[in-house]
Amino acid sequence: MNKISKLIFSVILLTSPLSYAETVEVVIFDNKENVNREHLLKSADAMLSTLQNWPGYISRELVEVSADKWIDIVHRKNETAAIQAQEKAMKSEVYLTFFN
């Protein structure tokens, strides 16, 4: 696996008069030398269609920081949904293709 820094944290968002908690997963990674931008984006799009079908999904941003550095940000309704998604990801062919 290429260099991946992973941070999961809960963000409390306040609205009036109610509040809710959202979990944000942030993955910072460098793409492999033999993977071009178009291939990475194609794999990311394939992964998104799977991700959107998992419970608790809210949104995703894939940010290109430089020619080979990316930040993948996934918003989920709560920490439980984030943990369940991580467990599913380790068994998902689409995810494993993106990770490789």
Taking all residues of the chain, what is their mean pLDDT, rounded to a whole number? 81
**Residue 60 and residue 36: Cα distance in Å, rounded?**
21
C-alpha separations of 87 from 33, 66, 67, 96 in Å: 28, 29, 30, 12
* Domain boundaries 4-99, corresponding CATH code: 3.30.70.100
Q: Model's pTM, two decimal places?
A: 0.77
Q: Is the distance from CB of 89 to CB of 1 less than 8 angstroms?
A: no
| Structural domain boundaries in the chain | 4-99
Nearest residue to 2 (alpha-carbon basis) of 34, 41, 37? 34
Q: What is the pLDDT of residue 67?
A: 83
pLDDT tens profile 20-54? 678 888 889 888 888 889 988 998 998 898 999 99
